[in-house]
A and B are shown apart, each in its own frame.
Chain A
Amino acid sequence: MSDTKHHPNRLGLWGWLGGGRWGMERYLYALHRVTGLGLLAYFLLHIVVTSSRAFGADRWKTAMDAVTGPLFKFGEYLVFVAFAFHAANGIRLALLELGFAVGEPIEPVYPYRTSVHVQRPLAIGALALAAVLVAIGTASMWLVD
């Protein structure tokens, strides 16, 4: 069988978001990964910028000038939104991955009620928590001086 000329059919990154009719949790999965990578990129940039202080006051001032302005403020806002989602959804994932909120094994009787249904309120709660954090952050960054 392995000698047959098979055609590769792995979805790759398309499998995170596209390629099918998926449920809400799949999009949370993809968004969690994307926001995680975004936060990682921010942390790396943060280290590069703050380490400029080690090369003197002039380099520090140059670095600070480079990261001010409305574009970077909006970028920081996106970082905060990503943090809010990643943190709230991370709590949900930590609970799920420790076996909470998925339910006990049951006799599967059609129509099947799976752990996806059991944990759905937790997913909605995590999104609500993220929304509250974003609202607070929005008020703090854009509305309150």
Chain B
Amino acid sequence: MSEMSKVTYRIRRYDPNRDTAPHYETYTIDYTPGLTVLEGLWLIKETLAPDLVWRASCRMGVCGSCGMLINGMARLACNTQISDLGTDQLVLAPLPNFNIIRDLVPDLMPMLSTHQDLHPYVVRDDVAEQEEPTGEYYQSIHDLEQYLQFSYCIKCGCCMAACPTVATDPTYAGPMPLGQVQRYNTDTRDGGFEVRKEAIAGERGPWRCHYAGECSRVCPKGVDPAKAIQLLKRQMVLDVFGLRAKKCPSKLVGKPKDAKRRNGIPEAPKPTV
């Protein structure tokens, strides 16, 4: 690969105002060591195809905008080095299992709507405490480790594109929303297991997952949605038999009474939200 001087992008393109169906177009650009797939796309847009469209923002694998199918695998374009692909022939397509808005831009709204339906936030009865906090909810380091991995999800949609169940079943919620159900169910500050159980009942729920493992394989953040879904199933089975550990929601830890502010440390600003 060190001798590679050119790289060819074969990109699946679709313009709803011009095309009736997607088609492939090929572009060849100069390769420089360290070039990412996303940087190559920018180069193509600047020099060869100004109407080429994709979604990107942070360029560092954080925002989850640039998920696309790169040489048959759902990845983030920004943190995929061309040299890591082992070829100078790239085939790019929009993430499958999502409708195509244009070129490499998938419509992620169905996934995000489903995610929203499944209560992806801490659910508690003490709404007043959440609005005007008087302290912090207790959580140990061990408690944190039970959900921290799943909280790294950036909603890029790569897992949904790789899931074979999502490929054939539009009613299935998919790995991203279900992984986030487990993330919040496991949070000891949360008391929303029952409402989420209702929300994932039936066809959309975790029992449609039969562990193809692709979601975990393609996840650019190591979130491991397949693990989250299997652990969610375990909790649901234990719940049926009344064996689920109910340590949620955790208690409120008030401000320390005897603590004194050190000299020179200013008061925290008032909450703005």
Contacts and interface: CB of A to CB of B under 8 A. Distances in A.
B212 interface: yes
A116 B212 CA distance: 9
A30 interface: yes
A11 interface: yes
A98 B229 CA distance: 10
Contacts of A6: 16, 99-101, 107
Interface in B213-256: 213-214, 216-217, 219, 221-224, 226-228, 230-231, 233-235, 237
Contacts of A25: 211-214
B219 A112 contact: yes
B152 interface: yes
A114 B96 CA distance: 23
Interface stretch (A52-60, A100-108, A137-145): A100-108
Interface residues of A, number: 45
A36 to B, nearest CB: 10
B15 to A, nearest CB: 10
Interface of B: 14, 16, 21-22, 69, 71-74, 94-101, 106-107, 109, 145-150, 152, 162-164, 166-168, 170, 186, 207, 209-214, 216-217, 219, 221-224, 226-228, 230-231, 233-235, 237
A22 interface: yes
A138 to B, nearest CB: 27
A115 B209 CA distance: 14
A64 to B, nearest CB: 37
Given A19-B96, A20-B72, A29-B211, A115 B219 contact: no
B213 A26 contact: yes
Contacts of A108: 149, 152, 221-224
A1 interface: yes
B227 A102 contact: yes
A70 interface: no
B231 A99 contact: yes
Contact of A112 (B99, B109, B167, B222): B222
A8 B212 CA distance: 23
Contact of B224 (A30, A97, A115): A115
A127 to B, nearest CB: 14
B230 A105 contact: no
8 contacts: A6-B99, A10-B167, A10-B170, A15-B96, A20-B69, A22-B214, A97-B209, A102-B227
A49 to B, nearest CB: 30
B217 to A, nearest CB: 5
Contact of B100 (A1, A9, A112): A9
A25 B97 CA distance: 19
A105 B163 CA distance: 21
A131 to B, nearest CB: 20
A4 B168 contact: no
Given A98-B233, A115-B226, A20 B162 contact: yes
Nearest to B226: A115
Contact of B211 (A93, A103, A106, A110): A93
Interface in A71-118: 93, 96-99, 102-103, 105-110, 112, 114-116
A23 B96 contact: no
A97 B229 CA distance: 8
A105 to B, nearest CB: 4
A46 interface: no
A14 B156 CA distance: 22
B100 A105 contact: no
Contacts of A26: 164, 212-214
